[in-house]
Amino acid sequence: MNSNIKISYPGSEKVYMQGSIYPDVRVGMRLVKQMPTVTVNGGERVETPNPSIYIYDTSGPYSDENVSIDLEKGLPRMRESWIKARAEKDADNIGQMYYAKKGIITPEMEYVAIRENMNCKDLGIESHITPEFVRKEVAEGRAVIPANVNHPESEPMIIGRNFLVKINTNIGNSATTSSIEEEVEKAVWSCKWGGDTIMDLSTGNNIHETREWILRNCPVPVGTVPMYQAMEKVKGKVEDLTWELYRDVLIEQCEQGVDYFTIHCGIRLKNVMYAADRLTGMVSRGGSIISKWCQIHQKESFLYEHFDDICDIVARYDVALSLGDGLRPGSIYDANDAAQFAELDTMGELVERAWAKNVQVFIEGPGHVPMHKIQENMERQIEKCHNAPFYTLGPLVTDIAPGYDHITSAIGAAQIGWLGTAMLCYVTPKEHLALPNKDDVRNGVIAFKLAAHAADLAKQHPGAMVRDNALSKARYEFRWKDQFNLSLDPEKALEYYKTANHVGGKYCTMCGPNFCAMKISQTLCEEK
């Protein structure tokens, strides 16, 4: 295995912004330097400088040439000293929500406040996001900072609708296809393109070891579905699942450093049968497993019954809960139906129970939803779940495009992100068809990064437009390299550009040299 994986971005420098409350808070960012704008004035060449642009950076130490990477040792444990200092003071209550409610701003909170405001300071853009604002959002449950005390390698990030829209990528071996080495490389690959969190959905052998490698080398929060490991333990026999066995899995994963758990605790015995009326039944793995358990034993699920116990466990590690939507619609036809909304009501009840124990919580959402039914999802989630963050899979706005579902879902994701969804779970082109390879992951991540960014623009997040404006100005001035360096995927942009015969440079190959609109337009302006 390549134990010296590094990430580099063209024209980009790794820089750190220091905290003012906590001087040891150092927020990693990318800084893209631009070429000057060149004009000719009275026969003289004039250079006007263009500002450097900060870019939100999920690549962690992998893009810092001063940090040497050793996968055997794992990443630097950035948060360790903060966590230790807290543990010395409060042995039992160590969570972000606990401190937030007490009025205390943690280093993690200052970290995310700096991270969310990248270009604001330099460009004089006003922002509502202060460390105190972050604290308040966490205290009131509107935002979550997933940060297991046993995952100090993770850089703090925040999930909430008053912040930048985040994206999650799923990785994981299923049965026989991929190896542990591949999974770690996939995790780093996701971070390279901008994945804000990673869910490790491995279901085969070596679940524990795969996760250990990922956690120790992952600069972003890691989520799991603990039920998958529980199912391995009972060798796929649903009926053999018990609370005790599941609890042990939770503790094991808390100890390892998983930052959030998807738990399908919103399925009630009385709601299971709603799915029978559907076109596509239940499409959530975790949801279908626990439903089957309920049906076999004819009793309420242990995830629901033991929800308070679950909260007690995860609170000790500050693991966040992601309430999984076992009854999410798997087709346009099933969207916004009774099954889906019954589960949402139960989730709303559980949110309040989690908060009572200072457990951070967010809510998973659909799925397949036509555009005219997206808004109802968002509004209902906010109402029923008391403003807890929403985390949706897509939604896919049509069922008819297998092979292109990264696009059908990016369309829904951009819209629901604009309406208030805090995190978008990516979908790759292979959704419904096969496991994604590296190229599929890249395509899925970029599709969702652009959807999330489109949502940030529509929400008018402070400074979100800075990057668009810089890139468009570079485009207009034929500063091709700046255009590529500022783009979500500089390598792809350059690769496509190179397929054309560029003569001279001052036009693009769509129009040819004589008809370039931007060139004519520039002449118009110069002649004015």
371 contributes a contact to its own copies by CB under 8 A = yes
370 contributes a contact to its own copies by CB under 8 A = yes
Nearer to its own copies, 66 or 460 (CB): 460
What is the Cα–Cα distance from 104 to 286, expressed in whole angstroms?
Answer: 36
74 contributes a contact to its own copies by CB under 8 A = no
299 contributes a contact to its own copies by CB under 8 A = no
Mark residues 89-118: x for contact with its own copies by CB under 8 A, - for none: ------------------------------
- Which of 97, 105, 411, 423 touches its own copies by CB under 8 A? 411
User: Least distance (Å) from its own copies to the CB of residue 33?
Assistant: 17
Nearer to its own copies, 153 or 431 (CB): 431
Cis bond upstream, residue 141 (ω within 30) = no
User: Least distance (Å) from its own copies to the CB of residue 49?
Assistant: 17
40: burial class by Cβ within 10 Å (0-12, 13-18, 19+)? Answer: exposed
- Which of 418, 426, 461, 463 touches its own copies by CB under 8 A? 418
* Closest by CA position to 230, among listed 181, 257, 263: 263
289 contributes a contact to its own copies by CB under 8 A = yes
Alpha helices (runs of H) in 124-198, residue ranges in sequence order? 131-139, 180-193
User: Least distance (Å) from its own copies to the CB of residue 478?
Assistant: 12
291 contributes a contact to its own copies by CB under 8 A = yes
User: Least distance (Å) from its own copies to the CB of residue 168?
Assistant: 16
408 contributes a contact to its own copies by CB under 8 A = yes
20 contributes a contact to its own copies by CB under 8 A = no
Nearer to its own copies, 71 or 378 (CB): 378
434 contributes a contact to its own copies by CB under 8 A = yes
510 contributes a contact to its own copies by CB under 8 A = yes
DSSP strands (E only) in 273-413 = 320-323, 361-365, 390-393
Whether residue 410 contacts residue 426, with contact meaning beta carbons closer than 8 Å, is answered with no
492 contributes a contact to its own copies by CB under 8 A = yes
What is the Cα–Cα distance from 527 to 523, expressed in whole angstroms?
Answer: 6
179 contributes a contact to its own copies by CB under 8 A = no
User: Least distance (Å) from its own copies to the CB of residue 434?
Assistant: 3
- Which of 37, 50, 295, 387 touches its own copies by CB under 8 A? 295
123 contributes a contact to its own copies by CB under 8 A = no
- Which of 182, 281, 316, 353 touches its own copies by CB under 8 A? 281
**Which residue is associated with the tokens 């991540």?**
445
48 contributes a contact to its own copies by CB under 8 A = no
Give the interface segment with its own copies, choosing from 113-121, 129-137, 285-293, 382-390 (CB under 8 A).
285-293
493 contributes a contact to its own copies by CB under 8 A = yes
447 contributes a contact to its own copies by CB under 8 A = yes
User: Least distance (Å) from its own copies to the CB of residue 516?
Assistant: 8
- Which of 116, 153, 431, 482 touches its own copies by CB under 8 A? 431
Per CB under 8 A, which of residues 205..244 are in contact with its own copies?
Answer: 228, 231, 236, 238
- Residue 371 CB contacts under 8 Å (≥ 6 apart), including other chains: 397, 411, 412, 415
298 contributes a contact to its own copies by CB under 8 A = no
* Closest by CA position to 228, among listed 199, 259, 207, 257: 207
What is the Cα–Cα distance from 114 to 25, expressed in whole angstroms?
Answer: 9
- Residue 521 CB contacts under 8 Å (≥ 6 apart), including other chains: none
Amino acid at 188: V
The 10 Å CB-count burial string (b at 16+, else e) for 375-391 is: eebbebbbebbbbbbbb
Task: Give the largest Cα separation in the chain, rounded.
Answer: 86
Cα 403 to chain centroid distance, Å, stands at 22
Amino acid at 38: V
- Which of 85, 279, 338, 356 touches its own copies by CB under 8 A? 279
Whether residue 346 contacts residue 382, with contact meaning beta carbons closer than 8 Å, is answered with no
Mark residues 132-171: x for contact with its own copies by CB under 8 A, - for none: ----------------------------------------
497 contributes a contact to its own copies by CB under 8 A = yes
Mark residues 449-478: x for contact with its own copies by CB under 8 A, - for none: xxx-xxx-xxxx----x-xxx-xxx-xx--
What is the Cα–Cα distance from 344 to 495, expressed in whole angstroms?
Answer: 45
Nearer to its own copies, 154 or 483 (CB): 483
Whether residue 69 contacts residue 61, with contact meaning beta carbons closer than 8 Å, is answered with yes
Length, in residues, of the chain = 528
518 contributes a contact to its own copies by CB under 8 A = yes
Give the interface segment with its own copies, choosing from 28-36, 87-95, 149-157, 490-498 (CB under 8 A).
490-498
Give the interface segment with its own copies, choosing from 40-48, 61-69, 383-391, 445-453 (CB under 8 A).
445-453
Amino acid at 455: A
Cα 224 to chain centroid distance, Å, stands at 13
What is the Cα–Cα distance from 92 to 201, expressed in whole angstroms?
Answer: 30
* Closest by CA position to 188, among listed 406, 8, 448, 422: 8
Nearer to its own copies, 314 or 416 (CB): 416
Give the interface segment with its own copies, choosing from 8-16, 138-146, 249-257, 365-373 (CB under 8 A).
365-373
Coil/strand/helix, residue 101: helix
With CB under 8 A as the rule, give the number of residues binding its own copies: 113
85 contributes a contact to its own copies by CB under 8 A = no
Cis bond upstream, residue 76 (ω within 30) = no
Classify the phi-psi angles of 460: left when phi > 0, otherwise alpha if psi is within -120 to 50, otherwise beta.
left
Amino acid at 275: A
